[in-house]
Chains A and B, each alone.
Chain A
Amino acid sequence: MKKRETDFVVGLVGNPNVGKSTVFNCLTGLNQHTGNWPGKTVALARGRYEYKGNGYVLVDLPGTYSLFARSEEERVTADFISSSQADVTVVVCDATCLERNLNLVLQVLEKTSRVVVCVNLLDEAEKAHVEIDLSQLEKLLGVPVVGTVAGCGKGLERLQGKVKAMTEGNIPTKPVQTVPKTGSFCGDEEHKTDFLAELYIQKAEEIAKACISGTGERPWQRKLDRVLTGKFSGTAIMLTLLMGVFWLTIQGANYPSQWLQTLFGWLGGKLSVLMQNWPVWLSQLLLDGVYATTAQVVSVMLPPMAIFFPIFTLLEDFGYLPRVAFLLDRRFEACGSCGKQALSLCMGFGCNAAGVVGCRIVDSPRERMIAILTNSLVPCNGRFPILIALISAFFVGGGKLGGLTAAAMLTGLVLLSILMTFAVSRVLSKTMLRGMPTSYAMELPPFRMPRIGKVIVRSLLDRTVYILGRAAAVAAPAGLVIWCISNIHVSGTSVLLHIAEFLDPVGVLLGMNGVILTAFILGFPANELVLSMVLLALSAQNSTQPLGMVLTGAGWTWQTALCTMLFCLFHWPCSTTVLTIYKETGSKRWTLAGVLIPTTVGVLLCALCNLLLK
């Protein structure tokens, strides 16, 4: 996306949850990228579209309720609007909640007259029997008002038209002013802000009364909410959905993973033919090292993510997730955090890196940090295969009952990691991240039917491909290193085995052994690699024997397997996650904390287990 000198800059503002991103995505398509506002940690998405021969750069400013400059997001938005950077500001409003949205509109109008108001989600308003007189609204606000249903693309062309006309100075505007220009205010800053805030709210109420008719009642929504937040029904549905998503992800990913492995195997064969005449060490390094590792990471990571993230995004867009946060808030409040951490925690089951990014929904910085630091305590998709493989190999018999026992054990492990998250959150909030739980006010958006097709495409692009890209970028060099240390021999044995031997005493203390510990270290690029690293170290990666036999043959006992599973749950985050923590916190110190916290938990737990079991 290149900005040309003649492009116009359009700022996009609005409350959270009004469909601002939908408008942004519809207008800019794939022609967008995200970056930081210079010098700040607020991420802004910029995109470009062309309309009737002109180029427009659309800047998606953070969702905010007001411009009083109390938070970083508000400051950035207010600055942007007031600066000469924006040629036009588009304020996106939710038609089902117009009165509250007008608060922001009025504040924007106080700063600039080049505004186009976009009243979105008109279809939802219609369903709620809310009628908005858009022309009356336009009259009262003094700036153009366009009604849209961004999800269907309705009204967007008219919006582009108004923006164009505005940039050309073709629309006379007389924006309504809320704050009286005359007279001075006596009182301190706090009271002044209060006074101003109330002015805006009252004006918004006035205008809303003149333009909106209808009750906005939707009985089926109230009924659904009753079920989803009920004492028994709510919890039951939540657990069922969680189990369901897990099961779907794990089961559904099996076949695609195998296909991908077959595909990559075939491709690898072709590559080796191509590299026939290359020096052997080079072709082996590239094929068995770089290519094989990257191929494995991708084939194991891609299918579960491609299932998990779209489902998660669908639940998110539908509006279900805030209800989960609502149900769990009390428990998290007791740990010094808030219900929204439940959501980033759930994301973490898909991928810890995505979970860390998901912590952005937690407004309070202190609680956000707690959520970020504890996210790695829940197992991501990459760790499930190891857990399942070890459970099946060491703890369960065959047959129907076996499958059920395995599921129960897995659930038990998941519950353990959730409990650990609560415990660690509690400790953090009392020690490193001490402070009062702050300003919790969570809006519960009305239920909306998500556009399934669009959601799938969006989540695949934004989350899956992005995370996968990062993972592949790390897997390639990692594969190189792994090949080197397993094939370079020093005094008879490979470097890999030397390392394993060196780490053996530590490993044994933790109920495992040097090989396992080395495998975990080598699994830093991606947790999916750990099991194959173990097999590699045992020179058994191509063995046809069942896993249980291979491992028992190498001296494993069920205690070893148990400690390995515990360490799998609680050890350092994978490289992608560490990178993401650094990007989100901007601090090396906290990133280190993010690495040490789960590791410490794992070390203590395994040592304890080892002590008790021996």
Chain B
Amino acid sequence: MKTVEIQLSRLAEGQQGTVRTLEQKGSMHRRLQDLGLISGTVVRCLRIAPAGSPVIYEIRGAMVALRTRDAEKIWVTV
């Protein structure tokens, strides 16, 4: 089965993906690590803000809001 790799920001509400690559560097990268977001983590898109950003994701049991511009730098397979 062919797996598609897309940006995290493109997940629809309710859709799930597995993290493949993280393009951020520096403090944002570390922040995400703190929250358990590493390669192989399963992430689910829960809610998109009315303004389009931020988006609430379910990461290891917690609900975390990430800005779209940051979610664009994370690639997941669905």
| Residue contact A100 to B62, C-beta cutoff 8 Å | yes
Residues of B within 8 A of A70 (CB): 27, 30
Asked whether any CB of chain B lies closer than 8 Å to the CB of A440, the reply is: yes
Bound Cα distance from A438 to B28, whole angstroms: 7
Residues of A within 8 A of B50 (CB): 229-231, 234-235, 327
From A193-201, A264-272, A572-580, the one touching the partner chain is: A193-201
Asked, given contacts A100-B35, A198-B38, A330-B49, whether A440 binds B54 with beta carbons under 8 Å apart, the answer is yes
Bound Cα distance from A439 to B66, whole angstroms: 9
Asked, given contacts A68-B30, A441-B64, whether A330 binds B52 with beta carbons under 8 Å apart, the answer is yes
**Contact residues of A: prevailing secondary structure:** helix
Residues of A within 8 A of B38 (CB): 197-198, 201
Residues of B within 8 A of A205 (CB): 60
CB distance from B20 to the nearest CB of A (A): 14
B: number of interface residues (CB 8 Å):
32
> Within the complex, which residue of B26, B61, B65 is in contact with A441, where a contact is CB–CB below 8 Å?
B65
| Residue contact B49 to A197, C-beta cutoff 8 Å | no
CB distance from A224 to the nearest CB of B (A): 12
* Binary interface encoding of chain A residues 189-215 relative to chain B, with 1 for a CB under 8 A from any of its CBs, else 0: 000011001100100110000000000
From A37-45, A91-99, A368-376, A538-546, the one touching the partner chain is: A91-99
| Residue contact A444 to B65, C-beta cutoff 8 Å | yes
Asked whether any CB of chain B lies closer than 8 Å to the CB of A329, the reply is: yes
Asked whether any CB of chain A lies closer than 8 Å to the CB of B67, the reply is: yes
| Residue contact A197 to B53, C-beta cutoff 8 Å | no
Residues of B within 8 A of A230 (CB): 50
> Within the complex, which residue of A194, A216, A333, A442 is in contact with B61, where a contact is CB–CB below 8 Å?
A216
Bound Cα distance from A193 to B25, whole angstroms: 12
B residues 17-71 touching A (CB-CB < 8 Å): 26-28, 30-36, 38-39, 41, 46-47, 49-54, 56, 59-67, 70
| Residue contact A443 to B64, C-beta cutoff 8 Å | yes
* Binary interface encoding of chain A residues 315-338 relative to chain B, with 1 for a CB under 8 A from any of its CBs, else 0: 000000010001101110100000
* Binary interface encoding of chain A residues 81-125 relative to chain B, with 1 for a CB under 8 A from any of its CBs, else 0: 000000000000000111110010000000000000000000000
Bound Cα distance from A326 to B65, whole angstroms: 7
Asked whether any CB of chain B lies closer than 8 Å to the CB of A584, the reply is: no
Bound Cα distance from A517 to B39, whole angstroms: 61
Interface residues on A, range: 35 or more
CB distance from A592 to the nearest CB of B (A): 29
* Binary interface encoding of chain A residues 445-479 relative to chain B, with 1 for a CB under 8 A from any of its CBs, else 0: 11000000000000000000000000000000000
| Residue contact A439 to B61, C-beta cutoff 8 Å | no
Residues of B within 8 A of A322 (CB): 65
User: Which of A68, A100, A222, A230 has its CB near the most chain B CB atoms (within 10 A)?
Assistant: A100
Bound Cα distance from A179 to B28, whole angstroms: 24
> Within the complex, which residue of B27, B41, B47, B64 is in contact with A442, where a contact is CB–CB below 8 Å?
B64
CB distance from A331 to the nearest CB of B (A): 7
Residues of A within 8 A of B54 (CB): 326, 329-330, 339, 440, 442
> Within the complex, which residue of A204, A327, A443 is in contact with B49, where a contact is CB–CB below 8 Å?
A327
Residues of B within 8 A of A222 (CB): 46
User: Which of A330, A439, A445 has its CB near the most chain B CB atoms (within 10 A)?
Assistant: A439
Asked, given contacts A65-B34, A100-B61, whether A330 binds B53 with beta carbons under 8 Å apart, the answer is yes
Q: Which residue of B has the minimal Cβ distance to A235?
A: B50
Q: Which residue of B has the minimal Cβ distance to A364?
A: B27
| Residue contact A197 to B35, C-beta cutoff 8 Å | no
> Within the complex, which residue of B34, B46, B53, B60 is in contact with A333, where a contact is CB–CB below 8 Å?
B53
User: Could you list some 30 contacts between A and B, CB below 8 A?
Assistant: A66-B33, A97-B60, A98-B61, A99-B60, A100-B59, A100-B61, A100-B62, A201-B33, A201-B38, A205-B60, A225-B56, A229-B47, A229-B49, A231-B50, A234-B50, A326-B65, A327-B49, A329-B49, A329-B51, A329-B53, A333-B53, A439-B28, A439-B31, A440-B67, A440-B70, A441-B64, A441-B66, A443-B63, A444-B56, A444-B64
Chain B residues with CB under 8 Å of chain A are: 26-28, 30-36, 38-39, 41, 46-47, 49-54, 56, 59-67, 70
